[in-house]
Chain A
């Protein structure tokens, strides 16, 4: 079994790489949590790329039910067909569509399945999936057919902590919290997204970024994805990197998304510049 190392487009910490290896080897779902913008969702795409397998995405919403991921039975269309005489109504199988998890089970090859933002759904949602994730198979009561995985898919689950997940569910998962990248890791990550950016600009931007993150009282501190956007904006404008902090952080709206935070940050940096100006 090949060990996961991330790809040229996605940098992982050794802890996360190890967690992926463990999840793959044990055939358990990998539950990933972390601040928004730390690349939870991208991880699944990258694992699929690394192992060279297709990816099934299942984006969970507040109305999503566990069974939706397995299959959907289109009773309305069947009713319609029965009233207006289209097609073979007796064959229920025609009205069954497999969901993302169901499709992953049915394929011959091993897939990566992403269950994105599992905490968005109802509290009972994870419990309803317990059995299916354990046995990697399910039965469709309407037809009596059983779909079971020939190859255990690699299941990646992300959560934003909006709801607590049930213990029984957690126990079956391999867990990893994506910590906010330190400066060295962040430099590598930024390099991946801006391979041809000027060194001076990156150093200046990271300097300003970590200074901004250390400001007390920010409600939503900027994350990796915002830093990457910000550097794009800076590169387009041809800003002189040496003047970033002094210029009162140009394009601050790409970094901070709350009005209150922008106020806090500007007050703080203006104070610093004013003091620097006097001395």
Chain B
């Protein structure tokens, strides 16, 4: 049962390690859970979970794993007791051996518990069924569970009710929270270098050199460390992007306030990038895209933000640009030129990936690696931009598209 809990957590992507698991075993052996299921919930959560983003997953796994046990909680706890008596005497063994023993005991315990639960099911059918029904909490309303186990310290919510209530849903990582978190994510893009910075006094080196110089002051200067990432942001505005305006503006302000980039430029486009992008969201100050391609070197990091959703013609037809009467290269060509010029580039899409498989979104995702505009997506994007791994197939396709007439 307990080992099952461990694997269920891992199966849900909660990074529980043997290291933390052994710490939990240790804590339980010391009786820190006060022999209550709620105590077990609290001890397990504070040791196994290291981020509020995983509280929700923890709650769900806890509820799933221990739901059936509810009616049999007293029994479960006495089993836990019994099992814990062993590791106490094993404390002086070396950790690895102890780990093996602990795992073995757990396995045995699990089997016993499962057997017991089988019998229990037959005898207490009503109780278990009652416990098992419903995704929401049958205990939350009642305030205590039938086995009489309660939270210490005056509260009356049982651990399962707490777990079932899913209070931590909002901390999940796949939701974007606020500017600060976006900034924290973007900050990881920055790289520091000592190239061509202004000189500052290196105190330690100065003293060292002075000592070698028989006490005559010898000043040592070193270039200062400074940020070396230049970021070009291209933002899609208007039309189908309107519902996402708030989110994009948060990303934008985060990049400006917290990015710590050496240089940050941002331009706007509508639906797709063509001959010109615009320095303002009202499309009054045009900047030639070709000029950008020429003046910015390939070390620039380029992030495009948009839903990549448009009429197919806007992407592939040479007259797709409705700002321009003269015919020019198609939108796809312009995008490919950007991708070709800047290997460190990515597309952030506020729409969920379930919509990416078809239409213009799929087409653009073949040019730019696409990430969702959520915290998890941003993390992935930053990881990609730090070390872009593009298949040669993708590079060839982009290069071919970029040559398009």
- The interface of chain A, by Cβ under 8 A from chain B, is 5, 13-15, 17-19, 21-23, 25-26, 28, 31, 33, 75-76, 79, 82-83, 123, 161-164, 167, 170-171, 173-177, 179, 219
Contact = CB atoms under 8 A, between A and B. Distances in A.
B153 A5 contact: yes
B203 A75 contact: yes
Contact of B207 (A25, A75, A161): A75
Given A75-B203, A161-B181, A161-B184, A15 B23 contact: no
Contacts of B32: 18, 21-22, 25
The 10 nearest A-B residue pairs measured at CB = A170-B50, A177-B52, A18-B42, A19-B46, A14-B153, A175-B50, A75-B207, A174-B46, A15-B42, A14-B151
B47 A174 contact: yes
Nearest to B187: A163
Contacts of B46: 15, 18-19, 22-23, 174-176
Interface in B48-65: 49-52, 55
Contact of B49 (A14, A75, A175): A175
B20 interface: yes
A25 B42 contact: no
B45 interface: yes
B180 interface: yes
Contact of A25 (B15, B27, B155): B27
Contact of A14 (B30, B155, B168): B155
Interface string B177-188: 010110010011
Contacts of B152: 14, 18
A222 to B, nearest CB: 16
A162 B151 contact: no
Contacts of A219: 178
A171 B17 contact: yes
B299 interface: no
B57 to A, nearest CB: 13
A159 B171 CA distance: 15
B215 interface: yes
Contact of A163 (B39, B153, B184): B184
Contacts of A173: 50
B43 interface: yes
A22 B50 contact: no
Contacts of B49: 175
Given A22-B32, A26-B23, A171-B50, A76 B203 contact: yes
A79 B155 contact: no
B224 interface: no
A175 B51 CA distance: 7
Contacts of A164: 184, 188
Contact of B184 (A15, A25, A162, A171): A162
A23 B207 CA distance: 42
Nearest to A18: B42
B204 interface: yes
A14 B155 CA distance: 8
A161 B153 CA distance: 29
B243 to A, nearest CB: 15
A160 B181 CA distance: 10
A15 B45 contact: yes
Given A18-B39, A76-B207, A174-B46, 18 more contacts: A14-B154, A14-B155, A18-B46, A23-B46, A25-B30, A31-B50, A33-B52, A75-B203, A75-B207, A83-B215, A161-B184, A163-B184, A171-B20, A175-B51, A176-B46, A177-B52, A177-B168, A179-B167
